[in-house]
Amino acid sequence: MTGMYDLHTHTLLSDGEMLPIELIRRASVLGYTTLAIADHVDHSNLSEVIAAQQEVKEMAGEYGLAFLCGVEITHVPPACISAVARRAKEEGAEVVVVHGETMVEPVAPGTNHAACICDDVDVLAHPGLISVRDAREAARRSIALEITSRAGHNRANGHVAMVAREAGCIVVVDSDAHGPHDLLSAGARRLVARGAGLSPAEARRSLGLNISSWLKERI
Protein backbone atom coordinates (compact mmCIF):
# COMPACT_ATOMS: atom_id res chain seq x y z
CA MET A 1 0.00 0.00 0.00
CA THR A 2 1.62 3.18 -1.21
CA GLY A 3 0.19 6.66 -1.61
CA MET A 4 -1.41 8.91 0.97
CA TYR A 5 -2.01 7.31 4.36
CA ASP A 6 -3.26 8.30 7.80
CA LEU A 7 -2.79 5.82 10.65
CA HIS A 8 -4.37 7.89 13.43
CA THR A 9 -7.99 9.01 13.11
CA HIS A 10 -11.04 8.96 15.38
CA THR A 11 -14.77 8.39 14.98
CA LEU A 12 -17.94 8.31 17.05
CA LEU A 13 -16.64 5.05 18.47
CA SER A 14 -14.61 7.25 20.84
CA ASP A 15 -14.32 11.05 20.79
CA GLY A 16 -14.53 11.75 17.07
CA GLU A 17 -17.36 13.41 15.18
CA MET A 18 -17.95 11.02 12.28
CA LEU A 19 -19.24 7.53 11.66
CA PRO A 20 -16.45 5.25 10.43
CA ILE A 21 -17.84 5.12 6.89
CA GLU A 22 -18.10 8.93 6.67
CA LEU A 23 -14.48 9.26 7.71
CA ILE A 24 -13.51 6.62 5.14
CA ARG A 25 -15.45 8.40 2.39
CA ARG A 26 -13.99 11.82 3.18
CA ALA A 27 -10.46 10.38 3.21
CA SER A 28 -11.02 8.67 -0.12
CA VAL A 29 -12.24 11.92 -1.71
CA LEU A 30 -9.05 13.65 -0.53
CA GLY A 31 -6.97 11.00 -2.29
CA TYR A 32 -5.97 8.72 0.59
CA THR A 33 -5.20 5.14 -0.33
CA THR A 34 -4.68 3.81 3.21
CA LEU A 35 -6.59 4.75 6.35
CA ALA A 36 -6.54 3.39 9.88
CA ILE A 37 -9.16 4.29 12.44
CA ALA A 38 -7.49 4.28 15.85
CA ASP A 39 -10.19 5.08 18.37
CA HIS A 40 -9.28 5.40 22.04
CA VAL A 41 -9.37 2.12 23.95
CA ASP A 42 -8.54 0.39 27.17
CA HIS A 43 -9.66 -3.08 28.28
CA SER A 44 -13.24 -1.85 28.78
CA ASN A 45 -14.07 -1.09 25.13
CA LEU A 46 -11.35 -2.69 23.01
CA SER A 47 -13.44 -5.60 21.72
CA GLU A 48 -16.41 -3.43 20.77
CA VAL A 49 -14.28 -0.89 18.89
CA ILE A 50 -12.48 -3.53 16.82
CA ALA A 51 -15.70 -5.42 16.06
CA ALA A 52 -17.46 -2.23 14.95
CA GLN A 53 -14.63 -1.30 12.59
CA GLN A 54 -14.62 -4.76 11.03
CA GLU A 55 -18.26 -4.22 10.07
CA VAL A 56 -17.27 -1.47 7.61
CA LYS A 57 -14.10 -3.02 6.18
CA GLU A 58 -15.81 -4.40 3.08
CA MET A 59 -17.62 -1.10 2.44
CA ALA A 60 -14.30 0.77 2.58
CA GLY A 61 -13.14 -1.26 -0.40
CA GLU A 62 -16.04 0.14 -2.42
CA TYR A 63 -14.39 3.54 -2.06
CA GLY A 64 -11.03 2.23 -3.24
CA LEU A 65 -9.46 2.55 0.20
CA ALA A 66 -7.27 0.07 2.06
CA PHE A 67 -8.87 0.30 5.49
CA LEU A 68 -6.96 -0.91 8.55
CA CYS A 69 -8.71 -1.69 11.82
CA GLY A 70 -6.83 0.06 14.59
CA VAL A 71 -6.87 1.25 18.18
CA GLU A 72 -5.18 3.95 20.20
CA ILE A 73 -4.29 2.68 23.67
CA THR A 74 -4.93 5.77 25.76
CA HIS A 75 -3.94 6.64 29.35
CA VAL A 76 -3.43 2.97 30.17
CA PRO A 77 -0.86 2.43 32.96
CA PRO A 78 2.53 1.68 31.41
CA ALA A 79 2.74 -1.74 33.06
CA CYS A 80 -0.52 -2.74 31.33
CA ILE A 81 0.21 -1.48 27.81
CA SER A 82 1.77 -4.71 26.57
CA ALA A 83 -1.24 -6.79 27.61
CA VAL A 84 -3.73 -4.42 25.96
CA ALA A 85 -1.65 -4.29 22.77
CA ARG A 86 -1.39 -8.09 22.59
CA ARG A 87 -5.13 -8.47 23.10
CA ALA A 88 -5.82 -5.88 20.40
CA LYS A 89 -3.76 -7.81 17.86
CA GLU A 90 -5.37 -11.10 18.87
CA GLU A 91 -8.83 -9.61 18.33
CA GLY A 92 -8.03 -8.30 14.87
CA ALA A 93 -6.41 -4.87 15.18
CA GLU A 94 -4.08 -4.32 12.24
CA VAL A 95 -2.54 -1.12 13.62
CA VAL A 96 -1.91 -0.56 17.33
CA VAL A 97 -1.18 3.04 18.30
CA VAL A 98 -0.20 4.16 21.80
CA HIS A 99 -1.12 7.62 23.04
CA GLY A 100 2.32 8.96 23.85
CA GLU A 101 3.53 11.40 26.49
CA THR A 102 2.23 14.54 24.82
CA MET A 103 2.95 17.76 26.70
CA VAL A 104 -0.73 18.76 26.81
CA GLU A 105 -2.22 15.79 28.70
CA PRO A 106 -1.29 14.05 31.98
CA VAL A 107 -0.08 10.83 30.37
CA ALA A 108 1.68 8.60 32.88
CA PRO A 109 5.49 8.81 32.84
CA GLY A 110 6.91 5.64 31.35
CA THR A 111 4.21 5.35 28.67
CA ASN A 112 6.67 6.11 25.87
CA HIS A 113 9.13 3.52 27.15
CA ALA A 114 6.45 0.84 27.57
CA ALA A 115 5.27 1.43 24.00
CA CYS A 116 8.78 1.43 22.55
CA ILE A 117 9.66 -1.97 24.00
CA CYS A 118 6.39 -3.66 22.99
CA ASP A 119 6.49 -5.75 19.82
CA ASP A 120 2.71 -5.44 19.40
CA VAL A 121 2.79 -1.63 19.14
CA ASP A 122 3.09 -0.16 15.65
CA VAL A 123 2.95 3.62 16.21
CA LEU A 124 3.81 5.82 19.17
CA ALA A 125 1.57 8.85 18.69
CA HIS A 126 2.61 12.40 19.61
CA PRO A 127 5.37 11.23 21.99
CA GLY A 128 6.27 14.67 23.32
CA LEU A 129 9.82 15.03 24.56
CA ILE A 130 10.72 11.42 23.87
CA SER A 131 14.21 10.36 24.87
CA VAL A 132 16.81 9.09 22.42
CA ARG A 133 17.01 5.93 24.53
CA ASP A 134 13.35 5.15 24.01
CA ALA A 135 13.51 6.10 20.35
CA ARG A 136 16.34 3.61 19.84
CA GLU A 137 14.17 0.90 21.38
CA ALA A 138 11.44 1.84 18.91
CA ALA A 139 13.91 1.75 16.00
CA ARG A 140 15.02 -1.77 16.96
CA ARG A 141 11.41 -2.94 16.63
CA SER A 142 10.48 -0.81 13.59
CA ILE A 143 7.91 1.06 15.71
CA ALA A 144 7.09 4.37 14.05
CA LEU A 145 7.19 7.72 15.81
CA GLU A 146 4.45 10.14 14.83
CA ILE A 147 4.66 13.67 13.51
CA THR A 148 1.18 15.10 14.07
CA SER A 149 -0.87 18.01 12.84
CA ARG A 150 -3.05 17.92 15.97
CA ALA A 151 -3.03 21.24 17.83
CA GLY A 152 -1.19 21.03 21.14
CA HIS A 153 0.26 17.61 20.44
CA ASN A 154 2.26 19.11 17.58
CA ARG A 155 4.29 21.36 19.89
CA ALA A 156 6.99 18.70 20.13
CA ASN A 157 7.13 17.79 16.42
CA GLY A 158 10.55 19.36 15.99
CA HIS A 159 11.95 17.40 18.92
CA VAL A 160 10.40 14.17 17.66
CA ALA A 161 11.91 14.67 14.21
CA MET A 162 15.34 15.39 15.67
CA VAL A 163 15.30 12.37 17.99
CA ALA A 164 13.93 10.07 15.28
CA ARG A 165 16.78 11.12 13.00
CA GLU A 166 19.39 10.42 15.68
CA ALA A 167 17.89 7.04 16.60
CA GLY A 168 17.12 5.91 13.06
CA CYS A 169 13.37 5.65 13.61
CA ILE A 170 10.60 5.30 11.08
CA VAL A 171 8.50 8.48 11.07
CA VAL A 172 4.85 8.66 10.07
CA VAL A 173 2.82 11.83 9.48
CA ASP A 174 -0.74 11.62 10.83
CA SER A 175 -3.64 13.98 11.42
CA ASP A 176 -5.11 12.59 14.65
CA ALA A 177 -8.36 13.68 12.98
CA HIS A 178 -11.46 13.99 15.14
CA GLY A 179 -13.62 16.04 12.76
CA PRO A 180 -14.06 16.43 8.99
CA HIS A 181 -11.79 19.45 8.72
CA ASP A 182 -8.89 17.74 10.52
CA LEU A 183 -8.05 15.51 7.57
CA LEU A 184 -5.02 16.76 5.64
CA SER A 185 -4.63 17.42 1.93
CA ALA A 186 -1.48 16.20 0.22
CA GLY A 187 -0.02 19.70 0.40
CA ALA A 188 -0.85 20.08 4.06
CA ARG A 189 0.84 16.78 4.86
CA ARG A 190 4.03 17.99 3.19
CA LEU A 191 3.90 21.23 5.17
CA VAL A 192 3.49 19.33 8.46
CA ALA A 193 6.46 17.13 7.64
CA ARG A 194 8.70 19.99 6.56
CA GLY A 195 7.52 22.22 9.39
CA ALA A 196 8.60 19.55 11.86
CA GLY A 197 12.14 19.89 10.53
CA LEU A 198 12.28 16.89 8.21
CA SER A 199 14.53 17.46 5.22
CA PRO A 200 12.96 17.18 1.76
CA ALA A 201 14.34 13.65 1.43
CA GLU A 202 13.14 12.66 4.91
CA ALA A 203 9.70 14.10 4.20
CA ARG A 204 9.42 12.16 0.95
CA ARG A 205 10.47 8.98 2.71
CA SER A 206 7.97 9.42 5.53
CA LEU A 207 5.07 10.55 3.36
CA GLY A 208 5.72 7.77 0.84
CA LEU A 209 6.11 4.96 3.36
CA ASN A 210 4.79 1.65 2.03
CA ILE A 211 2.43 0.83 4.87
CA SER A 212 1.68 -2.78 3.92
CA SER A 213 5.37 -3.68 3.53
CA TRP A 214 6.27 -2.04 6.84
CA LEU A 215 3.46 -3.78 8.73
CA LYS A 216 4.33 -7.16 7.20
CA GLU A 217 7.93 -6.73 8.30
CA ARG A 218 6.68 -6.12 11.84
CA ILE A 219 4.76 -9.40 12.09
How is residue 2 annotated by DSSP? -
Three-class SS state of 115: helix
The pTM score is 0.98
Tens of pLDDT, residue by residue over 110-126, are 999 999 999 999 999 99
Predicted pLDDT at 89:
98
Q: Return the CATH number of the domain spanning residue range 4-218.
A: 3.20.20.140
Distance CA 112, CA 100 (A): 6
How is residue 181 annotated by DSSP? G
Whether residue 77 is predicted with pLDDT greater than 80 in this model: the reply is yes
Three-class SS state of 1: coil
Tens of pLDDT, residue by residue over 182-200, are 999 999 999 999 999 999 9
Distance CA 35, CA 117 (A): 25
Where would I find the H helices in 20-63?
20-30, 46-54, 57-62
Tens of pLDDT, residue by residue over 163-176, are 999 999 999 999 99
Predicted pLDDT at 52:
97
Domain residue ranges of the chain, discontinuous segments joined by +: 4-218
